Structure 1
């Protein structure tokens, strides 16, 4: 019984992580600079391996990795049928909290502002 409960909890956790990760996009890029060996230089900021950078007013995060390779994360694509994308709801929030988007939708002749 306890094993079944533990297994069920594990599955729910994996699904929750999958939903969160499924809504983002990631990429890697060379962030080396000969003046700063072993570090990442991102938008003029010098980061050590493992350090994170969340640029203000952008919904993105960078993590400096081994070999001066930076991994970037953004929200990926979110769309709603028959709706106009009004952009991010609040880019001042740190990633991934800033990923919520606003949409203007028309349903049954009524305008609705929705967040997703």
Structure 2
């Protein structure tokens, strides 16, 4: 079972790298690039929308949302582009993934605003 999970995770990582390179390819339609950029940025983000320390929900985005996004995007991108990007993906997997600190900062900002909103509403309720 452990080997299947490791294989699945490695394949998911490989697909994210393929999408990373496909997003930069001029042969990909603009609407596919936008959706691909969102999926890749979220996957590379050092911070999750739902933090992993939240029981069960914390891993749902990693296990469900990212793979669903990948499946949708793979259908939007031409097969020739995917084939070309597979070679680049194998090469970068040896060197490690890039981090997207901009998306990470946006997610931190969103969580900060949610916390501030909650504090304000709790303060209003107590007064």
TM-score range, shorter chain: under 0.3
TM-score, normalization by structure 1: 0.26
TM-score, normalization by structure 2: 0.24
Larger strand share, 1 or 2: 1
Q: Which has the larger radius of gyration?
A: 1
Larger helix share, 1 or 2: 2
